[in-house]
């Protein structure tokens, strides 16, 4: 095998170990998650086993990273991500995550209050966190109504009836994280 391929394969083991340790996961737990044996995982991490695509795919899924990250694929050129805004129910949603499953990130632009649809509380499975980038937000959660401004954030269980919209005559821009099965965003302060 040529040297560049050998170099790529030699780097997979340390990357796998670093990803597993960053998740604070044991080989046994990762084995259950991926369907690979703990022995195979150990040999992959130590470089004693050359990885195959059948092994790397479940590992990439388990660690929530693109396959390219595991093999340190060379840069492909243009680093820009081409975001495609979606218009839905008067909102503009810009998906910021590209992988399926897990927590999804969006930039959401709510129209001015006078152009917004009527307040209709909704509930569904999941958990949501939002951060106000610009404008002011009217947030109804259950029987309570709140007003948020730039730099303020909220998190809530989406099974509780809720509604979000602009609070005034300007659009409101939010960064929103949504976990469809109730995953929560965990933010740890520096030094913890």
What does the DSSP assignment read for 32-101?
HHHS--HHHHHHHHTTSS---HHHHHHHHHHHT--HHHHHTPPP-S--------EEETTEEEEE---SSS
Mean residue pLDDT across the chain? 85
Structure-model confidence comparison of residues 89 and 94, the more confident one: 94
User: How many other CB atoms are found less than 10 A from the CB of residue 69?
Assistant: 13
3-7, 10-14, 39-43, 165-169: least confidently modelled range? 3-7
SS3 13: helix
Q: Tens of pLDDT along 22-74?
A: 888 899 999 999 999 999 999 999 989 988 889 988 998 888 888 877 877 66
Q: Which two tokens stand for residue 105?
A: 């990130």
Q: What secondary structure letter does DSSP report for 182?
A: S
Q: What is the pTM assigned to this prediction? A: 0.56
Distance CA 185, CA 179 (A): 8
Q: How many CB atoms lie within 10 A of CB 166?
A: 22
Residues 6+ positions from 111 with CB-CB distance below 8 Å: 90, 91, 166, 171
pLDDT above 80: residue 183 = no
Can you give the length of the chain in residues?
192
CA distance 95 to 106: 5
Taking the C-alpha atoms of residue 164 and residue 135, their distance in angstroms, rounded to an integer, is 13
């Amino acid at each position: 095998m040529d040297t560049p391929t050998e170099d790529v394969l030699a780097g997979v083991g340390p990357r796998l170990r670093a990803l597993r340790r960053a998740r604070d996961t044991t080989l046994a737990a990762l084995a259950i998650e991926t369907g690979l044996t703990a022995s195979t995982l150990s040999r992959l991490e130590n470089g004693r086993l050359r990885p195959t695509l059948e092994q790397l795919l479940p590992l990439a899924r388990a660690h929530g990273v693109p396959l390219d990250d595991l093999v340190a694929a060379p840069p492909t050129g243009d680093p820009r991500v081409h975001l495609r805004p979606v218009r839905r129910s008067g909102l503009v949603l810009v998906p910021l995550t590209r992988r399926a499953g897990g927590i999804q990130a969006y930039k959401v632009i709510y129209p001015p209050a006078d152009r917004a649809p009527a307040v209709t509380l909704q509930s569904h499975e999941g958990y949501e966190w939002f951060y106000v980038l610009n404008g002011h937000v009217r947030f109804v959660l259950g029987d309570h109504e709140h007003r948020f401004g730039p730099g303020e954030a909220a998190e809530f269980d989406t099974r509780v009836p809720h509604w979000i919209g602009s609070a005034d005559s300007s659009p409101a821009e939010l960064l929103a994280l949504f976990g469809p099965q109730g995953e929560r965003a965990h933010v740890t302060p520096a030094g913890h």
